Amino acid sequence: MSAPPSAGDSGSDIGGFAFAFGAAAAYGTAAVLIRAGLNEYGSPLTAITVALLTGVLALAPLAFRAHRARAREGPRQDGGANRTAIFFVLASGISSLLGFSSNTLALSLLPVVVVAPISSVYPLITVLLVRLFLRRSERITPQTALGAVLIVAGVILVTIFRG
C-alpha cells in the first residue's frame, strides 16, 4: 500500500483545501438545519442523538470496509496502532462529541447568527493546541496567528453588535 501524499504535495494540497471548504460548507449547513429542526421539534438532546446516530450509520459501512481491507493486508510490521495513537483518536471523538453537543445546545438557546461566529473561534484553540501537541510537525506562522486573532475580533464584533 502506498504512503499518503505528504503536505506540500500539490495534489494533496488541492484535496486538502477541497475537503476543508467542504467541511466549512457542511458545518455551516448543519448549524442552520439543526436550528430549523429545533424550532420544529425543540429537543436538543434528541437532535444530538439523531444527528450522531445518522453519522455512525453513514460511516459504519465505510469503516467496516476499511477494517476488512486492513485485515487482508496482514499484521503490520510495527505491531499496529500504539496506545498513544488510540488515546488521541478516542480523545478526538470525545472532543467532537462535546463540541457538537455544545453547539446544538447553544443553537437551542441563541440565534444561529450568534452561535455560528462564536463557535468559529475554534481555530484560535486549534492554534494553541498545535503549539502544545504538534510543535515538532506543524509550524505556526505569524499569518496563522494573525488569522486566529482576527477571527476572535470578528466574533467579538458580531456578538457586541448583534442587535
Domain count along the chain = 2
pTM: 0.73
Q: Are residues 106 and 124 in the same domain?
A: no
Residue 161 banded pLDDT, cuts 50, 70, 90: confident
- Residue 96, in any domain of the structure: yes
Q: Are residues 106 and 83 in the same domain?
A: yes
Q: Please report the pLDDT score of residue 61 as a whole number.
A: 93
pLDDT value at 148 more than 90 = no
Task: Write out the three cell numbers for 108.
Answer: 437551542
Q: Are residues 90 and 124 in the same domain?
A: no
Q: Are residues 69 and 124 in the same domain?
A: no
Query: Comparing C-alpha atoms, which of 38, 57, 39 is closest to residue 48?
Result: 38
> DSSP secondary-structure letter at 2?
P
Residue 8 banded pLDDT, cuts 50, 70, 90: low
Residue 13 banded pLDDT, cuts 50, 70, 90: confident
State which of 68, 90, 110 marks the end of a domain: 110
Q: Are residues 106 and 125 in the same domain?
A: no
- Residue 67, in any domain of the structure: yes
Q: Are residues 23 and 84 in the same domain?
A: yes
Q: Are residues 99 and 60 in the same domain?
A: yes
Residues in the chain, overall count? 163
Supply the range of the domain harboring residue 40. 12-110
Give 99 or 88, the one with higher predicted confidence. 99
- Residue 149, in any domain of the structure: yes
Query: Comparing C-alpha atoms, which of 129, 112, 131 is closest to residue 120?
Result: 112
Q: Are residues 33 and 98 in the same domain?
A: yes
- Residue 5, in any domain of the structure: no
Averaged pLDDT score across all residues of the chain: 83
pLDDT, tens digit (0-9, with 9 covering 90-100), for 90-133: 899 999 999 999 999 999 999 888 888 888 888 788 888 888 88
pLDDT, tens digit (0-9, with 9 covering 90-100), for 45-83: 998 999 999 999 999 999 889 888 877 876 666 655 677
Residue 2 banded pLDDT, cuts 50, 70, 90: very low
For residue 139, CA distances in Å to 48, 92, 151 come to: 35, 21, 19
pLDDT value at 40 more than 70 = yes
Q: Are residues 101 and 39 in the same domain?
A: yes
